[in-house]
Amino acid sequence: MTPSERRRYVTAATWILAGAMHFVLPKSYEAIVPPPLARYKSEVVLLSGLAELAGGVGVLSPHSRRGARWFLLATLAAVFPANIYMATNSERFTNIPRVLLWARLPLQGVFGALTWRGTR
């Protein structure tokens, strides 16, 4: 297996696992939906989980890989407000150290770069 193929499989597996977790632990994800969307938190969690699953599967095919790249990068951008919400409302998420909530913000860029590289 080439390094490129390895990155691709790791990227796909990461996104598929991340998407599946929305269905395994939905309440955890519902808790981080920002207030403007709280009325639809179940739907937001379902759709974001499906998006991550679909993007992860899309990475595996050479025919859909490029589209999956952009779709997953858009998904990262779409969920970024939840990370901002968590960081700016750390008192609601006492089970996660405040520093980690803030550290997640720049990590989104790292995840984006890894997704880009894993979908080439």
pLDDT digits (tens, 9 = 90+) for 51-71: 999 999 999 999 999 999 999
Looking at residue 4, its pLDDT comes to 92
pLDDT digits (tens, 9 = 90+) for 75-119: 999 999 999 999 999 999 999 999 999 999 999 999 999 999 999
pLDDT digits (tens, 9 = 90+) for 11-40: 999 999 999 999 999 999 999 999 999 999
What percent of the chain has a predicted confidence (pLDDT) above 70? 100
Q: Report the distance separating Cα 112 and Cα 109, nearest Å.
A: 5
Q: Report the distance separating Cα 52 and Cα 47, nearest Å.
A: 9
Looking at residue 29, its pLDDT comes to 94
Looking at residue 81, its pLDDT comes to 93
Total-model pTM: 0.91
* DSSP string for residues in 75-103: HHHHHHHHHHHHHHTGGG-TTS-HHHHHH
Cα distances (angstroms) measured from residue 5 to each of 8, 11, 14, 52: 5, 10, 14, 20
What percent of the chain has a predicted confidence (pLDDT) above 90? 98
Q: Report the distance separating Cα 79 and Cα 82, nearest Å.
A: 6
